[in-house]
């Protein structure tokens, strides 16, 4: 099983209009690894079933063709979306892990966000805004 690490400055807090999110209680430099988490990979048929539940908003597409999905442990499923996020996530299919790194300096008390499209500046509309 992969090692799981969460930066000690991270905590879960409330975000107006979004519910819970991940925040930092200290400043973070660019390219700081803030989390490495193992994931539970679900098959394409299991993904179809999960997409019918409330977990749909917390899973990530997985695999080279995105036919599977995964549930990430740690805080990863708690990061809110931003089209100009301050963090980016990376998937390691071989080791079944996800890593989150800052992509710019982050201030103390700032919410840490990821772009649900995968790349920090991808402006493609995400599923919950298309509804």
> How do residues 34-60 score in pLDDT, each as one tens digit?
999 999 999 999 999 998 999 988 899
Output the six-digit token pair for 101: 């790194």
5-39+71-120, CATH topology level: Beta-clip-like (2.170.270)
CA distances to 36, 59, 80, 85, 92 from 20, rounded to whole Å, are 20, 16, 8, 16, 26
What percentage of the chain carries pLDDT values higher than 90?
A: 68
Q: Which one-letter DSSP state was computed for residue 9?
A: T
66 band by pLDDT with thresholds 50, 70 and 90: confident
The predicted model gives 25-34 an average pLDDT of 97
User: What residue spans define the domains of the chain?
Assistant: 5-39+71-120
């Amino acid at each position: 099983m992969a090692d799981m690490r969460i930066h000690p400055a991270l905590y879960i807090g409330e975000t107006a209009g979004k519910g819970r999110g991940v925040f930092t209680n200290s400043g973070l430099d660019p390219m700081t690894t803030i989390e490495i988490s193992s994931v539970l990979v679900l098959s394409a048929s299991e993904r179809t079933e999960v997409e019918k539940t409330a977990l749909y908003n917390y899973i990530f597409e997985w695999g080279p063709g995105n036919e599977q999905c995964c549930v990430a442990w740690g805080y990863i499923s708690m990061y809110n979306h931003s089209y100009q996020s301050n963090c980016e996530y990376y998937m390691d299919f071989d080791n079944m892990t996800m890593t989150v790194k800052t992509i710019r300096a982050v201030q103390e008390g700032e919410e840490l966000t990821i772009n649900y499209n995968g790349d920090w500046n991808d402006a493609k509309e995400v599923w919950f805004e298309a509804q």
